[in-house]
């Protein structure tokens, strides 16, 4: 191959002396006339092409390398470790040359942009198939990243419907300890009903969700994935350092290990920000809007009527509910695609079950049927428990004991069970009415609470992630009235 200096010299001589022959140029440069002719005919300068270094030592591993690179999506460093364990002894240069020749995925290059603290977060999710309890299971990994600090929040679920997406976003806000100005998403149907520029429409429920949290919705235009590249890239790291080659004893084990991996990611030094996301997120939090006092409760839920044997039906199986809700209507929420949460009409979580994977199962919690206290639990012991929570109502206990002399223990036990379902402030109001009307039965307390505390009470969410602050929640039960009327007609 002709050297770059000779090629330049030949081109210069010919340009300054068009009449100069090939032999004259050849004599001056001391290169054969054929080489001179070739140099003059080639408009492009000569480029160095390194000879392939691939040797026969990699031949036995080619299929394995191709699978780990393009199917399992392993990083080059991990593939090299695997080959070393299988007996590969040659150098890195040969290995990476083979790796580049086998890479089939195209890479797009874009210029990243930075945002100020608290301005933007990005949200996305990806499905994976992992071994859980020895069986291949499809799980959904949600990724939320604060753009300034790169602080990441991972959430896992067995479902990717709108309820699961909203739940993952809520938990991400909670773990980030604040709400950014806007959240960047893609054009999934849970966010967008029409993605075209000419007739674009946000999903109404997503707009309600954003309004509840005071966050501005923002989307990446179709075909512009780089606009949320900060959340796209972490999936590659998640796949290679957490999903690949891992197995889990249970779904709860998957969630717990995912959160441990999240802590590890946020504690490592980030090459772009030159510090750890766990440290820099404090600046994000200073700029975040405060979390609302309640979770978003506008997601469409299912309503069920509890049978007299304290069971309700869901997806072909039956689940128990505390005895006090027998014959009552409750509404259901599926959390993470794995837990069934049962709420009273007062929006209180009264029971949580792991969803059955089989049809026809009957899932029973024995405590839901415990109407009477254990024989060894005396009135005096129940009295101590009551006064620990409501010390100002010793008069209530005295009058209860005097009015229900035959079996005061049974009434006090039932009253304590009812107290678990309501805010202490609401329960105390019911006790005040009981003293005012001189009626000391569990039925009276229950009736007062059901009548007066339907619209304002505590939402108790059971999940494996950090929870939002729990407080009063306003929920208009008129949204469910039509469904209740239909169910009433069917029951008649």
Q: Tell me: pLDDT of 266 over 90.
A: yes
Q: Tell me: pLDDT of 492 over 70.
A: no
Cβ neighbours of residue 418 closer than 8 Å, sequence gap 6 or more: 324, 427, 442, 445, 446, 449
Which pLDDT value is given to residue 323?
80
For residues 227 and 233, give the distance between their C-alpha atoms in angstroms, rounded to a whole number: 12
Which pLDDT value is given to residue 168?
92
At residue 244 the predicted structure's pLDDT band, cuts being 50, 70 and 90, is confident
Q: What is the pLDDT of residues 292-351, one digit of tens each?
A: 877 776 545 678 888 888 888 887 888 999 887 888 888 887 877 778 888 887 667 888
Q: Averaged over 258-265, what is the pLDDT?
A: 94
Could you give the percent of the chain with pLDDT greater than 70? 80
Q: What is the pLDDT of residues 369-406, one digit of tens each?
A: 765 444 446 788 788 888 888 999 999 998 988 888 87
For residues 405 and 400, give the distance between their C-alpha atoms in angstroms, rounded to a whole number: 8
Lowest mean pLDDT among 87-91, 240-244, 452-456, 470-474: 470-474
Which pLDDT value is given to residue 258?
94
Q: What is the pLDDT of residues 143-201, one digit of tens each?
A: 999 989 999 999 998 888 888 899 899 999 999 999 999 999 988 898 999 887 778 88
Q: Tell me: pLDDT of 470 over 50.
A: no
Which residue has better confidence, 434 or 298? 434
Which pLDDT value is given to residue 378?
76
**Predicted TM-score of the model (pTM):** 0.52
Q: How far is CA 439 from CA 219, 371, 398, 419, in A?
A: 58, 20, 12, 17
Which pLDDT value is given to residue 491?
40
At residue 56 the predicted structure's pLDDT band, cuts being 50, 70 and 90, is low
Q: How far is CA 459 from CA 68, 276, 343, 462, in A?
A: 47, 35, 9, 10
Tokens found for residue 248: 């889990």
Which pLDDT value is given to residue 432?
92
Q: Tell me: pLDDT of 352 over 70.
A: yes
Q: Tell me: pLDDT of 221 over 90.
A: no
Lowest mean pLDDT among 106-115, 166-175, 219-228, 437-446: 106-115
At residue 279 the predicted structure's pLDDT band, cuts being 50, 70 and 90, is very high
Q: Average pLDDT over the chain, rounded to whole? A: 78
Question: What is the C-alpha end-to-end distance of the chain, expressed in Å?
Answer: 94
């Amino acid at each position: 191959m002709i050297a770059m200096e000779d090629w330049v010299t030949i081109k210069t001589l010919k340009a300054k002396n068009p009449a100069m022959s090939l032999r004259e140029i050849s004599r001056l440069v001391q290169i054969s006339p054929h080489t001179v002719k070739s140099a003059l005919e080639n408009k492009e300068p000569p480029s160095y092409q390194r000879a392939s270094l691939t040797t026969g030592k990699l031949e036995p591993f080619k299929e394995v390398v191709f699978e780990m690179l393009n199917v399992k999506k392993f990083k080059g460093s991990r593939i090299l470790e695997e080959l070393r364990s299988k007996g590969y002894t040659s150098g890195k240069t040969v290995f990476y040359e083979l790796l580049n020749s086998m890479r089939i995925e195209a890479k797009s290059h874009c210029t990243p942009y930075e945002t100020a603290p608290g301005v933007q977060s990005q949200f996305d999710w990806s499905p994976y198939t992992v071994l859980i309890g020895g069986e291949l299971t499809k799980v959904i990994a949600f990724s939320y990243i604060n753009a300034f600090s790169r602080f990441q929040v991972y959430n896992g679920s067995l479902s990717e419907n709108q309820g699961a997406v909203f739940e993952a976003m809520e938990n991400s806000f909670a773990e980030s300890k604040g709400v950014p100005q806007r959240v960047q998403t893609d054009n999934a149907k849970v966010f967008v009903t029409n993605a075209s520029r000419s007739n674009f429409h946000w999903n109404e429920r997503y707009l309600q969700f954003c309004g509840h949290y005071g966050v501005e919705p923002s989307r990446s235009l179709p075909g512009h994935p780089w606009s949320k590249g900060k959340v796209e890239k972490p999936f590659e790291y998640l796949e290679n350092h957490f999903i690949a080659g891992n197995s889990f004893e249970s779904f709860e084990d998957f969630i717990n290990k995912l959160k441990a991996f999240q802590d590890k990611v946020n504690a490592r030094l980030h090459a772009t920000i030159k510090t750890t996301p766990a440290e820099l997120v404090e600046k994000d939090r200073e700029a975040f809007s405060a979390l609302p006092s309640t979770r978003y409760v506008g997601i469409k839920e299912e309503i069920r009527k509890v049978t007299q044997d304290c069971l309700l039906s869901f997806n072909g199986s039956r689940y128990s509910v505390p005895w006090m809700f027998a014959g009552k209507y409750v509404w259901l929420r599926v959390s993470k695609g794995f837990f069934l949460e049962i709420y009273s009409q007062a929006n209180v979580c009264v029971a949580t079950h792991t969803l059955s994977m089989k049809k026809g199962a009957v899932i029973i919690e024995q405590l839901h049927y415990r109407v009477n206290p254990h024989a060894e639990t005396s009135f005096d012991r129940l009295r101590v428990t009551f006064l620990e929570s409501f010390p100002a109502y010793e008069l209530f206990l005295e009058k209860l004991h005097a009015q229900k002399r035959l079996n005061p223990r049974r009434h006090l036990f039932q009253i304590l069970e009812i107290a678990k379902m309501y805010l202490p402030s609401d329960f105390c109001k019911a006790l005040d009415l009981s003293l005012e009307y001189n009626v000391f039965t569990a039925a009276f307390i229950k009736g007062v609470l059901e009548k007066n505390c339907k619209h304002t009470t505590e939402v108790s969410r059971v999940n494996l992630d950090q929870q939002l602050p729990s407080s009063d929640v306003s929920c208009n039960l008129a949204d469910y009235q039509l469904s209740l009327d239909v169910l009433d007609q069917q029951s008649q």
